[in-house]
Amino acid sequence: MFTDSRRARPRRALTRVVAVVAASMLLATVAVVADGTTAPRAEAATGSDFNPGFIISDQNFYDASSMTGDQVQTFLQARGSASCTGATCLKHVRVDSQNRVADNVCRAYTGGRSVRFADVLSRVAAACGINPKVLLVTLEKEQSLVTTANSPSRSTLDRALGYGCPDTADCDPAFAGLDRQIYSAARQFKNYSVASDFFTWFPVGGTVSLSYQANAPSCGSSRVTIQNKATAALYYYTPYQPNAAALKNLYGTGDKCSAYGNRNFWRLFSDWFGSPIGRVDPRGALDSASLDGLGVARVSGWAADPDSADPISVHLYVDGRAVTSVRADRNRPDIARAYPEWGARHGYAATLSGLSAGTHEVCAYGINVSLGKNSLLGCRSVTTPTQPRGSVDSVRSTGPGAVSLAGWAIDPNTTASIRVHAYVDGRAVTSVAANGRRADVAASVPGYGAAHGYSTTLTGLKPGDRRVCVYGINVGRGSNALVGCKTVSVPGSPIGWIDSATSSTKGVVKATGWALDPDTASSIAVHLYIDGRPVVSTPAKGSRPDIAAFYPGYGAAHGYSASISGVAPGKRQVCAYGINVGVGKNAAIGSCKTVVVS
């Protein structure tokens, strides 16, 4: 029977084994399912199927939504004896049930006066997260209260689940009453898994020594590995296992060393509701698999094992080959809503890289815990491109009729470098290998290396706006593909700037700046105007390293500096014009500047 967690003493041995066994042997030929309908009864349980380390799955034990109050009532009416007609029969009894506030084990519970027992049981189960079927089976194995032919006494109902009834003393009156018994038992069942720092003598995954009989140490024991929380909870409640004699005569008695509590729980659950362990293979889904870059797929889904509420591992395969293992421990509130007994930490996500070009089948397998076997969660197809791809990073004017071109290109069919073809205004102008080192490309496209950058200079371009396009040349499956296009302005007329126009001497203006003609790397002439009147011509041949750096191929000899004397006092406007060479025309260079002459 249950005990208060403050004492946590083992329950005393069953005193009504014969009654329980006798009632169980009168099983009908049909089983009642949760909705109150009937279905052919499953094969009778056999002792050889009993596993002392895995009596019931966590899913079945903690499935608080398995039965509504109406379904519990239908079950009690169908399973109960027709001879039990009194007000204390579970199918008839009504309970004054008290409200209970939420705590760290159970949610808030709302009671009421003269509440139908079936509703009390289902509400308590929902509040504490315990399967109503577990409570029904426990009521039967303890006192035969479900199938009894006689109306139970009030004192029997007061200790219905044996909560607070230790082996060495009378039952604690603080827990007497059907309402207290149901709530306390359900809460304690859940508390065994919540207070894991206190309940440690049946650790999940641990191997412990379990006796066959409470009062006869000479009957011996055996080592049992506890495989899940639900089985541990049953042993905290009844710390004994059935021996071979009890399992051999599953619907009767064994020998003097036989204990029946956990055997009868397992057998009754099997007969009434089907296998206590149910489907034990992992469940879940591969929700999505989508392309997330060249040769990269992003996959996500969920997985859980009915044997345990803890996260499990998921193995991912591509085209039948194992590629990675991930933990299904991400938050998935939707899974918690659908399977409250499992919780939310069952989502998984992973990035698969290094996929070759073409269509691939991605499959996910849930890795089994305890009983059962690994199971396929699902497969999805993902297609990586077969044509070249890349980028035109920059196109910039760098010299007379010249522009620099740079970027990267890659073909998914090979890790080797490929060639790119450059076009200007739709006309092919050059072919270049994309084999320059690009560490950023290696990082963003894993598995292909860094040798995929290209850079070149296009020459002989006419002045004006030019459309530069780059095509990746295909290798293997696919076809040549456009990598990208950019528009660049190729200057024809002179360009430049007036850096300064100052007057520090009476009647004198000094002007400085730079000028060049895109058609030549040679210096050109600059004409200076004051108030719209030409005053001087000066060569732009002074050294300007900054211009050489910004316009590679033109050199540094493009600076000018000139002093203009005889300028009348007052506010004057200074303008500069570059004198054209070749294609184009003379052009104003930069903005005119205003200077005050003394």
- Give the C-alpha separation, 410 to 388, whole Å: 5
Question: Which of 360, 384, 408 is a domain's end point?
Answer: 384
Residues 171 and 302 grouped into a single domain? no
Domain-located, residue 282: no
Residues 455 and 517 grouped into a single domain? no
**What is the tally of structural domains in the chain?**
4
CATH (domain of 540): 2.60.40.10
- Residue at token pair 């690994």: 374
pLDDT at 132: 97
Buried b / exposed e over 232-256, threshold 16 CB at 10 Å, is bbbbbbbbbbbbebbbeebbeebee
For residue 34, the enclosing domain spans 17-273
Q: What burial class does residue 387 get, using C-beta atoms within 10 Å of its C-beta: 0-12 exposed, 13-18 middle, 19+ buried? A: middle
For residue 312 the two structure tokens come to 């499990």
Residues 221 and 311 grouped into a single domain? no
pLDDT digits (tens, 9 = 90+) for 58-87: 889 999 999 999 999 999 999 999 999 999
pLDDT at 1: 43
Residues 413 and 538 grouped into a single domain? no
**DSSP labels, 271-339:** HHHS-SS---S-EEEEEEEEE-STT-EEEEEEEEBTTBSS--EEEEEETTEEEEEEE--EE-HHHHHH-
Residues 95 and 177 grouped into a single domain? yes
Q: Is 32 helix (H, G, I), strand (E, B) or coil?
A: strand
Angle among Cα 75, 139, 18 to the nearest 5 degrees reads 110
Q: Is 584 helix (H, G, I), strand (E, B) or coil?
A: coil
Residues 460 and 536 grouped into a single domain? no
pLDDT at 167: 58
The residues of the chain scoring below 70 in pLDDT are 1-44, 167-168, 195-196, 371
Question: Which of 490, 514, 542 is a domain's end point?
Answer: 490
Instruction: Report the chain's terminal Cα–Cα distance, integer Å.
Output: 112
Domain-located, residue 315: yes
Domain-located, residue 376: yes
Residues 138 and 189 grouped into a single domain? yes
Residues contacting 5, CB < 8 A, separation 6+: 188, 191, 195, 198, 199
Domain-located, residue 140: yes
CATH (domain of 370): 2.60.40
Residues 397 and 253 grouped into a single domain? no
pLDDT at 36: 38
For the CA atoms of 221, 224, 228, 233, the dihedral, rounded to the nearest 10 degrees, stands at 10
- Give the C-alpha separation, 294 to 355, whole Å: 8
Residues 245 and 265 grouped into a single domain? yes
Q: Is 173 helix (H, G, I), strand (E, B) or coil?
A: helix
Domain-located, residue 8: no
Residues 259 and 239 grouped into a single domain? yes
Domain-located, residue 3: no
Domain-located, residue 284: no
pLDDT at 196: 64
Residues 348 and 372 grouped into a single domain? yes
Q: Is 410 helix (H, G, I), strand (E, B) or coil?
A: strand
Question: Which of 350, 384, 418 is a domain's end point?
Answer: 384
Domain-located, residue 285: no
Q: Is 164 helix (H, G, I), strand (E, B) or coil?
A: coil
Asked whether the beta carbons of 488 and 401 are under 8 A apart, the reply is: no
Residues 35 and 184 grouped into a single domain? yes
